[in-house]
Structures are given as C-alpha cells and as structure tokens.
Amino acid sequence: MKEVRAIITKEFCANNIDLTKEQVIVLHGLHQKDGRPQQDLASVTGRDKTSLTRLLNTMENKGLICRKQSLSDKRINLVYI
C-alpha cells in the first residue's frame, strides 16, 4: 500500500495536481452521490470521524468541498463538491 501511495503522490506532483490519495477517495465518493452525510463518508473511506473531519477541513480550505447543515437534522453535516 505504501508503494501505491508513493506512485500516486509522485504522479500527482509530476502533473501539478494538489491532491492526496485520501482527497481523491472523498471526491470520488461525492461524485457518486453529492451531498453525503459526513458520517457516511467516514464509513465509505474507512476513516474515523476525527481524521475525516481534519481531511474535510483541509479540502474545504482548498475550495474543493463545502459542508452544509442538514435541514431535517441539525446534527448532520452534508458534504458537497
């Protein structure tokens, strides 16, 4: 897995793509279904809530995603591309 990560990182850098493998996985999950609950993305990506929150904060700062509070349940954050 470390080798795969290194190859992906190398290719991204060679093509001036400012993404990590984890960010690509999140974007792919959102491409399949935009507006997913943050909890759903945690299970899809296999990350715990804390590390996913940090990852989403970084992606939000880069302008890749946005989070909005669910209208039906204020405790749920929906994530959009």
How do residues 48-61 score in pLDDT, each as one tens digit?
A: 989 999 999 999 99
Q: Which residues of the chain have pLDDT under 50?
A: none
pLDDT score for 1: 77
Residue for token digits 């929150």? 53
pLDDT number for residue 45: 86
Strand, coil or helix: 8: helix
Instruction: Give residues with Cβ within 8 angstroms of 55, minimum separation 6.
Output: 22, 23, 26, 47
Q: Are 39 and 75 in contact (CB under 8 A)?
A: no
